[in-house]
Chains A and B, each alone.
Chain A
Amino acid sequence: MKSSRTFRHGGIRVEAGLDWEQRGTARNAFLPNGAVILLKQHAGKQARCVVRRGEYVREGMVIGRADGAFSAQIHSSIPGIVRDIKMISLPEGGQSEAVLVALEGSFDRLGRKGERYLWKSMGRTEIISTLRDRGVVDTAAPGMPIHDLLSDRKEIGLLIVNAIECEPYLRAEECLLRDKGAEVMEGIAILQKVLAPKKIVVTTSQATTIVLPLSKDDGVDVKLVSFEARYPQDMPRQLLEALDGSRKRPMTDALIIKPSTAFAVYEAIVIAKPMVERYVSVSGGAIKRPAVLKTRIGTTIGDLIEECGGFLGPPARLVIGGTLRGHSVYDLDVPITKTTSAVIALSSEEVGSQLRSPCIRCGRCNEVCPERLDPSLLFRLIERGMWSRAAELGLGACTVCGACGYICPSRMPLVAAFSTELQSTQGQALTHVHGENPH
């Protein structure tokens, strides 16, 4: 199905890295010898640790209990001994406790055929509380626990399963849909039972080819809509704008999740498996053999890169999550979390010159801003400390998509300035414009 649907204003065409052809299926990554399991892999507060050093943990055992709103259960992804519990800094800023588990003992689940739970007789509350117990969170940052999202909404207008990956180097969702299409569909069916949405849409980008096993056997009527390959088409506001043709729909009338979230829902409900694995695409110009790996949560990115043949040359920059909205990391011990979709090692040619030169007022940032802001003006205001003026000019609507920073020929640190500014104004309802950033 070809269509030229897209959002109205701004946006960029990101070409670098899209030619990476990895159309095969995902590989299972080796089990890590040690897992670094963060107790904060979700939007809310860090989970409370319930294990002690030296304790033996089984695969899938709860090691952290959800603590308040937007917090989620944390399970051990491998069986083993708790070697240490220590604070580590997070790539997105802040700190969290992490449980270090050294692989030991036997797997309860691996290699065994589990039975299928019949979820159709389960009620809404039962499904939601099961999802809470299994620690399922939306796999898009910041990792909203699915039970918080679901208990807020009922009989909504639209459920969007967003398979668009318009940032370069991201392939995990596409690969998951190819490998586990039927399972994702079953996850969608479970969500349909809970939410009773009027319409279910799977959104894809024209740059990717996704074949969904669209069956109406279970009474699930899913529509596949493909969009122009334009960034940031996968942002909530841009998605709704392109689907509805307007911005009238309130955010609470729609639920937007990733296919991997639907897959986690399937696993949690049907095979009673907590969220301990995910698909991660490992790529970038500095990676020898790019691949999508099925990875245990807590595996370090160094282990994954090693599994992809290591580096071609010294990487100029390591990024997790995506080159535009992700975070730079500076060592190889950063662990995979429930929301880590990609590990990207960029070569120095891909990074290019980072030398900042003065703004020549070319106006390209205005052109590409999907929220129709004036990034260069906002940047000048922030630089001079005129924050309230910047807020008046709509800084709060900035989604930190990074389009302006990508296009800027003078390499001005626009996105860094906006994200710092938005973080420091938390609590003033500025970042809460559409409830996307609920820390």
Chain B
Amino acid sequence: MWGTVATLIPALFWGFFCFGLSAVIPVIAAIGGALVGEVIVSGLMRRFTLWDGSAFLTGLFVGMAMPPGISPFIPATASLFAVSVIKGAFGGLGSNWMNPALAGIAFALLNWPVEMSAWSLPHHLIKVTGITNLDATVTDTLNRNVFSHLGADLPGGYFDLLFGNKSGALGEISAVLLLAASVILIAAKVIRWEIPTYIFGSFAILTWAFGGLSLGNGFFSGDILFAVLSGPFLLVSLFMAPDPVTSPSSKVGMMIFGVGIGILTFLSRTFGSTVGGSAFAVIMMNCAVPTLAKLDTRASQRRASNAVAMTKGAETHGIR
């Protein structure tokens, strides 16, 4: 848990750098709310679990999903709800069926939809209109040296999306820092690579095939890069969807879970009206996890009865 917190700190600090105090306050409020929730639950359950880091991490996730400058009351309530109701009431760490951080974010999205979508631009970009100089330079260099040889031309703007020179939630804007954190966590086997891979794969294919339709561009014209790099998609699919407690552990289960999230995210992004489509997609697939686990159990029962059948054959060969 604490390791995950450590890897998220660079992305968080990029948010602090971009938005200053208006980013620091919501994060502190969210973590504070989570810790208060954990202490209350600990008291009720007579089991002190504050130091396992799970409540702190939930608070951090909730904080990172907040738009900068939001009233600290909202993140504090959201993470208090997440830790005490979604996690604590179901029996604490390991027993909850819904990802607490996502539940907290969804709680805030549903209760304060206006405040939750009041994004603002980073401080150092307020005077810039359109694409930043950094993006223009990098895109230009790449186009001249790499893509021109491949017969392609990269439009401007993607490097702003990648590095986090954009408006968005305070911890979600730097795609590159989130990706780096996830690489560390996957290498350390804290999160599994399968679930993010299936989410990315299904989401990218759907976006490419049908994403252009709503803009009137026809099939196979969707903008995968924009879809992946914008909004809370990276934070949710890299860190919250693979939460082991609320995701399946078998190979088939992970595939169904990941692809389901990809499809639902695509549907709500393209045809829905709410923000935070990926958060709701994961919560919906969380509901399917017990059923997926039941499928695994059935498979292992089949294997067990096959093994018994084999053993019976062996006994006739004279095993004592």
Contacts and interface: CB of A to CB of B under 8 A. Distances in A.
In the complex, which of the residues A361, A377, A392, A433 has the most CB atoms of chain B within 10 Å of its own CB atom?
A361
B190 to A, nearest CB: 9
A358 B310 CA distance: 36
B296 interface: yes
A57 to B, nearest CB: 33
A252 B245 contact: no
Contact of A251 (B52, B250, B308, B319): B319
Contacts of B245: 360-361
Given A432-B319, A433-B307, A357 B52 contact: yes
B301 A394 contact: yes
B144 interface: no
Given A252-B314, A394-B301, A366 B93 contact: no
Contacts of B244: 360-363
B249 A366 contact: yes
Contacts of A253: 317
The prevalent SS among residues of B at the interface is helix
Interface in B213-251: 244-245, 248-250
Nearest to A252: B317
A367 to B, nearest CB: 8
Interface residues of B, number: 28
Contacts of B304: 373, 392-394, 396-397
Contacts of B94: 357-361, 410
Given A372-B300, A377-B297, A434-B319, A358 B93 contact: yes
B164 interface: no
A349 interface: no
A396 B313 contact: no
Contacts of A152: 318
A362 B249 contact: yes
Given A252-B314, A434-B311, A394 B93 contact: no
Interface in B263-320: 296-297, 300-301, 303-305, 307-308, 310-311, 313-314, 317-320
B233 to A, nearest CB: 24
B92 interface: yes
A394 B249 CA distance: 18
B92 A373 contact: no
B101 to A, nearest CB: 15
Interface in B48-92: 52, 92
A257 B268 CA distance: 62
B141 interface: no
Contact of B320 (A358, A363, A397, A438): A438
Contacts of B137: none
B95 interface: yes
Interface of A: 152, 247, 250-253, 357-363, 366, 371-374, 377, 392-394, 396-397, 410, 432-435, 438
13 contacts: A253-B317, A360-B244, A361-B244, A363-B249, A374-B296, A374-B297, A392-B304, A392-B305, A432-B319, A434-B314, A435-B319, A435-B320, A438-B320
